[in-house]
Amino acid sequence: MSIEDFLKNLKGKIVIAGIGNPLRGDDAVGSFIAKSLRDKIDAMVIDCEDSPERYLGKIIKYDPCTVLLIDAIDMNLEAGSVIFLEGKDLEVRKIYSHNPSLKLHVHFVSKNINARIYILGIQPESTKLGSPLSKKVLETAEILINLLRLHLNAK
């Protein structure tokens, strides 16, 4: 999916859920993006850290039209590379999230609400314990934050 198609699909009542362990370098990119967007765009933004399952009830109760999950995903690409997927594509693509429950998360949300579910995956460079976000992943995160702010009516 192209960036243009991806942005066109972000519409209606939106939840953005950033996923990632803040202690594991680039694994924290989803969480970093969520923190950067909170209260700055027209969407419910949740920083799930490494426990997205704790927020399923909140997402379902909000009953959004669109759910965007942002996560570090190993796609065997250059660090900082981005992939835009529909939730159903997780089943057919060979990608590896740090969080094995991402597929279960998508499945649970899709069974409980009628929302479009998208994944924004970012290729990590290092998920070593105690490391910061790498330069390449941080640059990608900043670009994505700016794109989302522009598209989702920054406050």
CATH homologous superfamily for the domain 3-151? HybD-like (3.40.50.1450)
pLDDT tens-digit profile of 124-138? Answer: 999 999 999 999 999
Name the residue with tokens 């994944």.
Answer: 119
Question: What element of type H or E holds 61?
Answer: helix 56-62
Radius of gyration over every alpha carbon of the chain, rounded to an integer in angstroms: 14
pTM assigned to the model? 0.91
pLDDT tens-digit profile of 38-89? Answer: 999 999 999 999 888 899 999 999 999 999 999 999 888 999 999 998 887 7
Residue 22 CB contacts under 8 Å (≥ 6 apart), including other chains: 28, 31, 49, 50
All structural domains of the chain with their residue ranges: 3-151
Q: Dmax of the chain from CA atoms? A: 39
Backbone angles phi, psi at 18, to 5 degrees: -90, 130
